[in-house]
Amino acid sequence: MRIVIAGAGAIGGYIGAKLAKAGADVVLFARGPHLLAMQLRGLRVLSPDGDFDVRPQVTGDLATIGHADVIFLGVKAHGLTSLAPSLRPLFGPDTAVVSTQNGIPWWYFQGYGGELDGLRLERVDPGGVIAGAIEPRRVVGSLAYFATEIVEPGVIRHTEGNKISFGEPDGTKSDRARTIADPLIAAGFRCPINQRFRHEIWVKLLGNVAFNPISALTGGTLEELARDPDVSTVVRALMAETEAVARTLNIELPITIDQRMAGAEKVGAHKTSMLQDFEAGRPLEIEAIVGAVVELGERLGVAMPATRTVYACAKMLDEKSRSAKAGAVAQRLATVARRL
């Protein structure tokens, strides 16, 4: 089985590294300094389970790979709009595309049935670009439950966790999902296949929609957000509004807000992926995680005053961060130009 990691960052890179270590046929696609470092020195993983180095095939050009059996989408949700149309050279007749993004995926309402069947969320898939590039029959849902970060180009730190769950959008327990899971299990991951995968999306989203943007706004770790009496009240308000949206979609969550808060506190001094992105000057995954829930709330008539407030603040933070980064880059280029 030929596996392509389309976006070998913290999540995708860790999956690819573990697969390579286990001897799987895997190709990593990346860009920038991270790509260059992996091409020159390979990929290093720092982990409490043991550090290791691998030298998988790495490329910055998807067109050079050929057909893949499985493609893992390792980029953040906002990166899919530009990535999806470039995947076409990788598609064979039965190529499966595994989404690993947080938030509500672009395919959520494909084959959903009822009056919401085929609904496209503009904040998730602007203009329908992703859905137009990836046929519904190729999609396999996935959620990653481990903490990783790129500490420097070519080096990924794994903090905890080894679970990747899978689910077919139609709710079947397919041979395809098991075939995809097998090499990951051989690489050391736990890979349950969930026939109620849309429920699992909302369980994870219950925490992400609150903890991620608030952590970026405050700089707080999960432990700090859960323990602070004032901030935890805001976190709970966002969770309650998210739970109300899920309930309108007939999703009854198998976990309470109290349990979700206790779980976050137990994780300890962990920075959410959104806080890591903000500190690194990267774009924030605001729309798929928070904006999509707000958009759904609008459509379904669910009041979301707390979520709207946090969404607006986090969105402005992201825009100002991007503007500042663009300004710094322009200044550096101007300085170089003056020296020439």
Tens-of-pLDDT digits for all 340 residues of the chain?
A: 999 999 999 999 999 999 999 999 999 999 999 999 999 999 999 999 999 999 999 999 999 999 999 999 999 999 999 999 999 999 999 999 999 999 999 999 999 999 999 999 999 999 999 999 999 999 999 999 998 989 999 999 998 899 999 999 999 889 999 999 999 999 999 999 999 999 999 999 999 999 999 999 999 999 999 999 999 999 999 999 999 999 999 999 999 999 999 999 988 888 898 998 999 888 999 999 999 999 999 999 999 999 999 999 999 999 998 887 766 655 665 665 555 5
Q: 58 is written with which tokens?
A: 């790495």
pLDDT the model gives residue 328: 63
CATH number at residue 244: 1.10.1040.10
d(CA 191, CA 24): 16
Domain check: are 218 and 118 in the same one? no
CB count in 10 Å sphere of residue 175: 8
pLDDT of residue 334: 60
Query: Which of 195, 214, 240 is a domain's end point?
Result: 195
CATH number at residue 162: 3.40.50.720
pLDDT at 269: 86
- Structural domain boundaries, residue 263: 198-325
Q: Do 217 and 141 share a structural domain?
A: no
Q: What is the pLDDT of residue 333?
A: 55
What pLDDT sits at residue 111?
92
> Three-state SS string across the chain, please?
CEEEEECCCHHHHHHHHHHHHCCCEEEEECCHHHHHHHHHHCEEEECCCCCEEECCEEECCHHHCCCEEEEEECCCHHHHHHHHHHHHHHEEEEEEEEECCCCCCCCCCCCCCHHHCCCCCCCCCHHHHHHHHCCHHHEEEEEEEEEEEEEECCEEEEEEEEEEEEECCCCCCCHHHHHHHHHHHHCCCECCECCCHHHHHHHHHHHHHHHHHHHHHHCCCHHHHHHCHHHHHHHHHHHHHHHHHHHHCCCCCCCCHHHHHHHHHHHCCCCCHHHHHHHCCCCCCHHHHHHHHHHHHHHHCCCCHHHHHHHHHHHHHHHHHHHHHHHHHHHHHHHHHHHC
Enumerate the active-site residues: 204
161 lies in the same domain as 218: no
Decide which of 195, 223, 258 is a domain's last residue.
195
Residues 141 and 205 in one domain: no
| Domain match, 180 and 212 both | no
Inter-helix orientation angle 305-339/229-248, to 10°: 110
The pLDDT of residue 69 is 98
pLDDT of residue 57: 97
For the entire predicted model, the pTM comes to: 0.91
204 with 190, same domain?
no
Both 189 and 306 in one domain: the answer is: no
Q: Are residues 101 and 206 in the same domain?
A: no
Q: Is residue 340 part of a domain?
A: no
In a domain, 145, yes or no: yes
For residues 133 and 260, membership in a common domain is answered with: no
